[in-house]
Each structure stands twice: as structure tokens, then as C-alpha cells.
Structure 1
Amino acid sequence: MSVSANKVVHPQTNSVLAGLEPAVFFGFFEELSAIPRGSYNEKQVSDHIANFARARGLEVYQDEIWNLLIKKAGTPGYENAPTLILHGHTDIVCESDEGVEHDFENEGIKLRLDGDFIHGTGTTLGADNTVGVAFAMSLLASDDIPHPPLEVVLTVQEEVGKGGAQHFDGTKLTGKRLLDMNWHDPKSLFAGCAGDISAHFRIPLQWSERPNGQEAARLRVSGLSSGHSEFDIHLERANAIVLLGRLLRLAIKEGDISIAKLEGGVNRYVIPGEAEALISFDRSVSGALRSKIEAEAAAIAAEYSTSDPNLKITFEEDPGLFFSVFSEKVATGAVNAMCLLPNGVQSRSLIVDNLVESSNTVALISNDQERIEITSTIPSAVSSRRYNIVDRIRQLSEVIGLGASVETFADCPEWPYNPQSRMLAAGRAAYEREFGEQPHVEVSHSSLELGLFRKKVPDIDMLSIGPEAFDVHTTRERLNHTTVEATWRLLKALLSELRT
């Protein structure tokens, strides 16, 4: 990339997004997309952005886990305006379609343009939150956009528990206003969100010897619609881990099966679209077991025909090269947990219409030699409800016994809606000036890092904006590039409103 006195010039060799406007944004979006940046693998992208900022003479702070703080002075006439914090996160969710091999540790995203939409190629796109980072870089690179003093905060590990925001040193910030760029609706202003907490449900493993002569099979649930565990939870989509538990309970009752492995889910903030179990059973029950599973699979497919039309349940023979299985009590306990852990919408707001107040997503399951672990993520706009759901999970561990335990982590507070917010008022004024109509104001069930910034910076005033994106955290993720120009206009108009 080369820089002239007045504009940024991006290399266009093999560019997929050349010709899209605003060119400066799409140049940075494509540049960032070429860099591997899954959670915990953000050093390369952090160094890239830090070098970009230093080349422009900007003040850069980079901490030991690769969070970035970049400061830029206000433009003429805005030098003494209140400082504005701009926020985005550098990490993305890394997931690929079945049969697609993509080395996320070393390869960037291969972009694909299809009509109005930008996609990955068999993978997640990472618009969440490459969009926010590209907007921030576009502003940092500009010399003709009026703005107040800027403190650009780009965090890491957002998709795995908001670790970057948890770690970030808030004392380095002087601003009391924050504009986040991790929203997905260009026709609304995002003005409040839930907090969340995650919980590991663990059962110590006891192993038994696999009986001689047994057959083995993989029971697999796949093809689900999946989606973001907070943005999409109200859509009542199927959960592959919960369905697998349902099928395993049937199999245990009908076929006296043993379990050797459990695996499912990709990320704490993704409704699991795939899960599987490796099971063992006596040949004498094979036919009856298959028939029972096929009948139950048909019933499940009918139940979820609207939300998950591509749901697939398979029961396939496996070479069976294993010699140990879970003990009967552990297998029963694990299956009970898969079936009984709270999952989906738990309560709805009585204050904001059509808003989910609290939920839980049973997001991940795995086992090693020592234990079975099931991870849930619990967002709620009311802290007491969030902790009550955690307590119910603890109660389940007590009922199951077997040494089961619950460990919580990544506790993030909510960001309550404030109708008197100066940032919200400025956003409304900017939107009406640019588009001649009032924006929708949204309060969401999603849990962003903004609750943590509210905790770190007392009296902070926040707002979030962004272009249209769909199915984030899935391989169907897509960015409507035709809405980016409107967001860019809104961003510049909002900055001009913040002189005072």
C-alpha cells in the first residue's frame, strides 16, 4: 500500500473489491481479509495496523496480548472537542464448510463478490468485525474529514470471551464518548446491550473396557442453520448438541450403547450446527437401533423443517479402533446434561418490545481422557437473571453427581439503554441530516464489549453503528456492500456533530 498527500492507494492486484465505494474502506477491508486473524492469532494483524499508524506519525500503544490504542489529534476547529473513542475488534470467527480445507492459522479469507454481497469462499467472512477495523483505519488515514481527537481501541479475543477488553488498560483512555462499529443494521442506532457470562460444565471421566465383538458407529447431527448465539437466538434454530443428546438418550434406552467420544460446536458465540458421538453396541441390536434413530430423526426433521430445512442426522458404521468407553454412569450423566442444560430463550423483556432478555446456548462439547466438558454462554440484560441461569446449571451438576462441577468465566456486564445519551442525540441528528428521516433505535440481546468499557470508564457515553451483515459466525456470513456507503456517510456526519 502506498500513501499520497491526500489519499490512500491500495494495491489492486487480484483485487475482488476494486471499484466498490467508498474505495478507501474496501481497500482496507480487502487488505485486512488477507491476514490470518482468528482469536488468539491476532499478532500479525495487530503489528500490521500498528505499523500503518506509526507510518502516519500517530501515537501507538500495543499491549502484550496485541490490543491496540492509536491516538490522532482533532482536525482544525475540533482540537478542543471532547475526545472520541472509536472501537472495533481484530479477531474473527473461523469456520469452514464441510469438505473445505482452510488453514486459518496461516491463510487469510478468500473473498467472493456475488451481487450486492461479499462472502468468504467456503468459510466465514469475518465482517464481524473487519468492518469496524476498516472504518477506523479509513479515518486514521484521512486528512480531509473533520473529527474530534480520536482514541482508536482495537481489541483482541472478542469472539472467545472478550478477553481483549477484559485485559485492556482503561486508564490510558481520556475520552468519555465511545463509538463502536460492530452493529449490523445501517438503518438503526444501537444504544444498549446485554451482558453475558460463560460456564464450563465438567464431568470427570471414568472409563470401562469396551466389550469384545461390538460394532461401532458415528451418530452425527449436521446441516443446521446455526448462527450467532445472541443475534439469532430468537429464531428458535436447532442446537446440534442438544439434538445429539436426545438421540443418545433414545439409543441408551433402546440399544444399551456405550459412548467413546463426544464432540460438537465451534465457538462459544455460535449456535452449534454440528455434533457427533462415537458409540459402541452389540450386533444383536444394530438393526433395531438404526430403525429407532431413523424414526426419531424423521420426527426431529419435521419439528425443525422451518428453521433448519437442511438438518441431517446420520448413523454410519465406523472402523471402531478403540478399546475404552465411558462408564455407564458417566455416559448417562453426560447425556442427561446435554438434554437438560438450559438452552435457547429463557426470558423476554417486558420493557422493550420483541427483545429477548436472557438466554443460554449450549455451545461446545468435547472430551479428553480426564473429563467431558460442555460450555454454555449466557447473555442477559439483567445481571440477576444471568446469575440465576448459572445457578440452575450448578443445580444440575449437583443432581447429576459423579463429581460434576461448574466453572464460570468471561463475566461481562450489560450496557443499559440511556434515552438521554449525548451520543444517541448526535447520532439521531446526523442520521436525520444525511437521510431525511429518523433512525430506529435498537437495544439488543447481543453482548458486546461495551459493558466492559462502561465498567472501565465511569460515565462513558456510547453508541454503535454499522452496515448490513447477515449470518455472522457462519459460513453463510455476508456483507451487503451497498450499505457501506451509507454507514460511511453517517460516520462522517456523526463526527461533525461532536464538536461540543
Structure 2
Amino acid sequence: MSQEIRNLEPKALWNKFADLNAVPRPSKKEEKVIEFIKKFGNSLGLETFEDEIRNVIIRKPATVGMENRKAVVLQGHLDMVHQKNADTVFDFETQGIDMYVDGDWVRARGTTLGADNGLGVAAMMAILESKDIPHPAIEALFTIDEETGMTGALNLKGGILKGEILLNMDTEEDDEIDIGCAGGIDVTATREYFEEETPEDAVGYTITVKGLNGGHSGMDIHKGLGNANKIMNRLLFGAFENFGLQIAEINGGSLRNAIPRESVAKVIVAGMYSEAYIFDMQPIIKDIKNEYKTTEPNLVIEITKSEVTPEMVMDLGTQEGVLRSIYAAHNGVYRMSADMEDLVETSNNIARVIVKEGEISIGCLTRSSVESSKFDLANALRSAFELCGFQVELSGSYPGWTPNVQSEILDVLVHIYEKQNNEKPKVVACHAGLECGILGTNYPDMDMISFGPTIHGAHSPDERASIKSSQKFWKFVLEILQNIPLK
């Protein structure tokens, strides 16, 4: 990691981010970072403990003169999305993130950066370590597994936290103050299929879709970006109908909350159709690239003859149903909010498609700020897959966060933002899944707000954090702490 990261201003923030990013912390593999945070809290002589699910809480008393202010919960999540480019050799379970400075941006080499939510966590650490930052009594809540299930927030019991105000530092545009977010539910479709022996005259091909932008399946879902799983299905569907193509394997997408960037399929085509298949697929490829020329200029679609022809393929009856069900399954924006301008209300991301050795698994993440709409779309997806004989599981449901425009802490943040920046902030609700809605189920009286520095490309190897924005964010945080309302 470049030493230049540690020399960035504010050094208190970037040094803690560099310390954090040296510790492996992929979702569901947070053991090392949990111990790191506990050791950090104990080294400061502060009350530090885990709850039953392994969230870490560190308490710091108010500084002199701030004892009469309401206690504040600073909250961020320890885990990060572990995405890398296909040609990047990297082990998220053993390696720290390799960062570098690119103009106003901090980036990682070939992987996600972990600024989501590492910069929020780093700010919490810097405040806990500080000796000259005025603040009320603080509870720093470091949650686990936010990115793949909100497990930490879902299992935080009522009564543990004493604070009256919660500052969640996990949003990605520095001119926005979030007062609401979407909930979500996982829709997972699975089924088995009969494997047939490949005909003797068949020719094997590998189809590759790559070069897509990917991104956050909530924050970026409205941008018209390509979904590698849907594009791959389109390619397979056309060739199945025209050339009797049969599927041996599909490996598409990766994480439930990341828009799929890549998909690879191994297929066969009857030898008599081999040349015609390659020729006739070119106009389809051209059409797809033309459709995405603005949003996905780097899209690559390759069809190459396989060195080894697959020995087994999916039976044609099942294959037809699978391709039609994926075609029918909704992907992208389902409904825009009627109450907040430009807010996506409900959406779905077909995140993962796996076909191998007689088993099929399709994973979706459905999001909505309206519970009834969330389940409406989930049931639509379930219906599309069940018509093809899939077993469909709805799991991991978590609630959204209902906006409170009368929030006392919202008034404080708006006033400070206007004073510091000579303009009004955007008070918004987001389509991402923030932990505030979940935490609010056990802490219904806690006044919650969410904000953060500018981060682009979250959940993809293009993730980058603005240096200038981090300075703005840090200044904002410090003044918020000095202006927490009286008890």
C-alpha cells in the first residue's frame, strides 16, 4: 500500500482507513477485523465488548462541557464487498487492500476499495482515539455482515444501546442527507435437471460476457446498466431456438448486491450448424452492443470454440423452461416512488446464475421502500420460476426505513451543512439497504440520520473515494458532534 494514502488530509481519517484496509474483512469472514476493532478499543482504555452476534460496541464518555448533551451512537459496518477483476489475483481472506491515489480519488488495484463502509468506520475510530475533539457521550456500534444479509443489525437486541441519536455514516454522496431507505428480500430459485451425454458430432463453445460496469444493485439500478446474466440468457435463448444449442455450464455474476459484470457459459451446438451458429450470432451481438453503447461502452461478448467439448449437457425440456423463466423474470426498476422525486421504490437484481452438474441456482435481491411492493415483486419472480418447476425460497427479509421529516437531528445537520457550504443539502431517501430501518425495530425512539463522503463505483472494482469530499465529510462530522441537542 502506498504511503501517500497516509499523508492525505485529514490524516486522522486516512490513517485509520489505511489501518483498517490492512485487515481482511470480506462479508461473513469478519473474524480478523472484529479482533482488530476490539484490540483498538481496549488499547484506548475504553469499554469494549461484543454482543451475541459479534457486533462490537465501544463506549467513550463525553468530553468536558458536553456532558449535558444527548448521547450519540456512531454506526458503521465492518464488512466490505469482495469483488475483483477476473484477471486480478487476490485473496480477500488473507490480503489487505492495495490502494493508490489517482488525482482526487483513492482507488484499489483490481479490487473493491472498501470505502463502503470503511471511511465511516475510520471516522468512528479517529473520533474514539482523539484527545481534542469535543463530543457528547459516544457509543460506537460496529456491525457485521451488512453487505450480505444485514445480520449484525438484524440480531442487535434492544436495550444494549443507550444513545438517543444515531449517526449512520454509510451513504455515498456528500451533498445528501438520508432519512429513509429501501428494505430487501432474497429470492432464490433452485432445481435439478437431467444431464444428457453430448452427441458425438457436437462442437463445444464458450460464451463470455464481460467488460460491464457492474455497481451497487440499489444505488445504481436506475442507470440502465447491463446485467451480464440477462445478456447471457438472451444469447442462449436465440441460439437454442435456432441451432439446438445445449447448455453444459453457466457461471454468471457473484454477489447478491452487485449488478453482474461477467458471465461465462459452456455450450454445444450440433456440428452441422457450427458455422451458421457463429455467423448468425454476430448480428445479435451487434444489436446488444448497440443498445448499450452509451451505458456500457466496454461491453465484450465473445464466442470461442472450446478446446474440450463438454461431455454432459442439460436436457432440452428443462433448458427451454430455464431460459424462458430467466427471460420473464424482472430485472431493474419495477416502480418509481410516487412520493419522492427520482427515488426508485422497487427493483430487482438477478445477481447470480449457476448451472453445473445437474443443479441450477438463480439468486435475486429484491428491494423496496414499500413492504407490500417488495413482496409483490418477489411473488412475481417466484411465479416466473415456479412455472418452470423451480423451488423458490424467500429469505433474509429486512425492513426499510420510513422517513421522518420532523427529525430533530435532521434540523441540526441541515443547518450545519448550509453554514459550511452556502447551499442546502439534498434531503433524500435512498434505494440502498441502510441498517437504520432494521435498528429502528428494536430502538423505535432513536432519532436516526445517515450521511457520508462521496464514493463512486461501490460494490465493483471501480470503487473510488473522493479525497476532497473526505475533507468535507470530516469537517461536517466534527461540527455535528459539537452541536448535538441538549438532553
Q: TM-score band (shorter)?
A: over 0.9
Amino acid at match of 2:458: V
1:192 counterpart (166, 170, 180): 180
In structure 1, which of residues 128, 136, 147 is the aligned counterpart of residue 116 of structure 2?
128
How many Å separate the matches in 2 of 1:206 and 1:166? 39
CA deviation string 1:429-453 (max 9, x = no partner): 2223333432221211112111111
Report the AA paired with residue 149 of structure 2. Answer: G
Alignment pair present for 1:167 and 2:116: no
Letter in structure 1 aligned against 2:214: S
Q: Compute the displacement of 1:368 (Å).
A: 4.2
Query: How big is the shift at 1:16?
Result: 2.8
Q: 2:465 aligns with which of 468, 479, 492?
A: 479
- 1:385-404 correspondence to structure 2 within 5 Å: 385-401=373-389, 404=390
Tell me how far 1:331 sits from its aligned partner: 1.4
The equivalent of 1:285 in structure 2 is 273
Instruction: Tell me whether 1:464 sits opposite 2:453 in the alignment.
Output: no
Give the match's secondary structure for 2:5: coil
What are the Cα deviations for residues 256-293 of structure 1, in whole angstroms up to 9, with x where unaligned? 01111111112111110111211012111111111222
Matched, 1:405 2:397: no
Partner Cα distance (2:356, 2:438) in 1 = 33
Partner of 1:425: 411
Q: Which residue of 2 aligns with 1:299?
A: 287
Residue 454 of structure 1 aligns to a residue whose secondary structure is helix
**Alpha-carbon offset, residue 457 of structure 1:** 0.9
Among 227, 230, 243, the residue aligned to 1:242: 230
Please report how far the alpha carbon of residue 227 of structure 1 lies from its aligned counterpart in structure 2 after TM superposition. Answer: 1.0
Deviation at 1:321, TM superposition (A): 5.3
Aligned residue pairs, count: 486
Match among 434, 442, 447 for residue 433 of structure 2: 447
Task: For residue 295 of structure 1, report the CA deviation from its aligned partner.
Answer: 1.3
Contact 1:434 1:493 in 2 (8 A): no
Displacement of 1:96 in angstroms is: 1.6
Amino acid at match of 2:423: E
Q: How far apart, CA to CA, are the structure 2 residues paired with 1:305 and 1:177?
A: 46
Structure 2 residues without counterparts, runs of 5 or longer: none
Structure 1 unaligned spans of 5+:
1-12
SS in 2 for 1:203: strand
Counterpart for residue 98 of structure 1:
86
Matched letter for residue 186 of structure 1 = D
CA contact (8 A) 1:42 1:66 kept: no
SS at match of 2:219: coil
Q: By how many angstroms is 1:145 displaced? A: 1.3
In 1: Cα distance, 2:99 partner to 2:380 partner = 43
- Name the counterpart of 1:5: none
- Show the 5 A alignment for 1:342-381: 342-381=330-369
Name the CA distance, whole Å, in 2 between partners of 1:400 and 1:58. Answer: 56
CA contact (8 A) 2:72 2:163 kept: yes
CA contact (8 A) 1:393 1:406 kept: no
Q: What one-letter code is carried by the residue in structure 2 that aligns with 1:433?
A: K
In the alignment, the residues of structure 2 paired with residue 454 and residue 30 of structure 1 have an alpha-carbon distance, to the nearest angstrom, of 31
Match of 2:247 in 1: 259
1:417, distance to aligned residue in structure 2 (A) = 1.2
Q: How does 1:5-24 map to 2 (within 5 A)?
A: 15-24=3-12
Residues 388-427 of structure 1 deviation map (CA, whole Å, 9 limit, x = unaligned): 00111121123223xx121112211111111100111111
- Give the distance between the partners of 2:63 and 2:473, measured in 1 at CA: 21
> Secondary structure at 2:159's aligned position in 1?
helix
Q: How far apart, CA to CA, are the structure 2 residues paired with 1:225 and 1:246?
A: 19
What is the rounded CA distance, in whole Å, between the counterparts of 1:333 and 1:452 in structure 2? Answer: 37
Q: CA deviation at 1:463?
A: 0.7
- What aligned pairs does 1:23-102 form with structure 2 within 5 A after superposition? 23-63=11-51, 65-102=53-90
Any conservation in 2 of the 1:203–1:334 contact (CA below 8 Å)? no
* 2:164 aligned with 1:176: yes
Counterpart residue identity of residue 437, structure 1: E
- 1:69–1:368 CA distance, 2 compared to 1 (3 A): farther
Contact in 2 for aligned 1:207/1:326 (Cα 8 Å): yes
Which has the higher mean CA deviation after the structures are superposed, 97-106 or 115-124? 97-106
1:128 deviates by: 0.5
Task: Please point out which of 203, 220, 243 is paired with 2:208.
Answer: 220
In the alignment, the residues of structure 1 paired with residue 28 and residue 169 of structure 2 have an alpha-carbon distance, to the nearest angstrom, of 21
Shift of 1:65: 4.8
Tell me how far 1:127 sits from its aligned partner: 0.6
2:465 and 2:350 mapped to 1: Cα distance?
27
* Identical residues among aligned pairs (%): 33
CA contact (8 A) 2:248 2:356 kept: no
| Cα contact 2:134–2:481 (8 A) shared by 1 | yes
> CA 1:101 to 1:362, structure 2 compared with 1: closer, same or farther past 3 Å?
same
Work out the CA distance in 1 between the residues paired with 2:365 and 2:323: 19
The aligned amino acid for 1:497 is: N
Please state if 1:153 is matched with 2:119: no
Q: For 1:499 and 1:354, how far apart are their aligned partners in 2?
A: 32
Aligned to 1:6: none
Corresponding residue SS for 1:36: coil
Instruction: Give how far 1:64 is off.
Output: 5.5
Aligned AA (2:460): T
Cα offset for 1:323? Answer: 2.2
> d(CA) in 1 for partners of 2:53 and 2:357?
30
SS in 1 for 2:82: coil
Q: Secondary structure at 1:362's aligned position in 2? A: strand
Normalised TM-score (structure 1) = 0.94
1:57 positional shift: 1.2
2:203, 2:309 within 8 Å by CA — same for their partners in 1?
A: no
SS in 1 for 2:32: helix
Matched residues in 2 for 1:170 and 1:206: separation? 49
Provide the alpha-carbon RMSD of the alignment.
1.5
